[in-house]
Amino acid sequence: MKSAVIVFPGSNCDRDAYVAIRDVLGSEPEMAWHGDSSLEKKDLIIVPGGFSYGDYLRCGSMAANSPLMKEVIKQANEGTKIIGICNGFQILTETGLLPGTLMRNKGLKFICRQIHMRVENNTTSFTRKYADKQVIQVPVAHNEGNYVVEDDVLKSLQDNDQVAFRYCDESGTVNDDTNPNGATDNIAGVLNKNKNILALMPHPERALSKLFGSDDGRGVFESLMG
């Protein structure tokens, strides 16, 4: 599989994404600098977590307009699989590839801990190794994870099975008490309409081994192997 991880000034999960691809998918991704203007055609591109451009203006807003993102958007529209994680989620919403936006956590605190999320659509290239409604444990580390969408957009997300993951508790209960950041409808991860783009606030690339608390994140990468 030909893959790339986009590196922005301020990315800090790019190496984790690299290791996830190398160890789970068995091939080395290209580490692609955001300032470059061309990128060889890829099967998979990861827009990693971090604090691109120091979160200036709005999280992800500068990165979304960096030169290489034009190429990422082009390949996304041609069907290349894209995963945006944490800051990568924020960047993808800023590009318009995904609807909605990520606002400040409802509790105004940076949240850094293990959470549970429920697999809401296990028929995609990113989730097919999981069981339907499987509860998985992965870490979150963000200040702006409060996913906000307008009501009509939310309805279309629900109607088109574009909600990939919802925050829940260990038993899979989804409600306000199991919502860490105030995200609309407990949404932790969304897909685009064509299901070739997944973006999520939690970090599956940091949950590859029980040594780090959980290996539940492997499923996202194993799913990509087909």
| Active-site residue list | 86, 203, 205
Nearest to 90 by CA among 82, 98, 78: 98
The one segment of 40-48, 71-79, 97-105, 170-178 that binds another protein by CB under 8 A: 97-105
Amino acid at 218: R
108 binds another protein (CB under 8 A): yes
What is the number of alpha carbons within 13 Å of residue 142 lying toward its C-beta?
34
Query: Are 192 and 77 within 8 A, CB to CB?
Result: no
Helix 87-95 and helix 67-77: axis angle, to 10°? 80
Amino acid at 92: L
CB of 116 to another protein, least distance (A): 23
Among 103, 157, 163, 224, binds another protein (CB under 8 A): 103
Q: With contacts defined by CB under 8 A, how many residues of the chain interact with another protein? A: 19
Closer by beta carbon to another protein, 132 or else 150: 150
The one segment of 40-48, 106-114, 120-128, 172-180 that binds another protein by CB under 8 A: 106-114
**Which residue is associated with the tokens 């309805």?**
155
Site residues, another protein (CB under 8 A): 57-58, 61, 65, 93-94, 99-101, 103-108, 148-150, 182
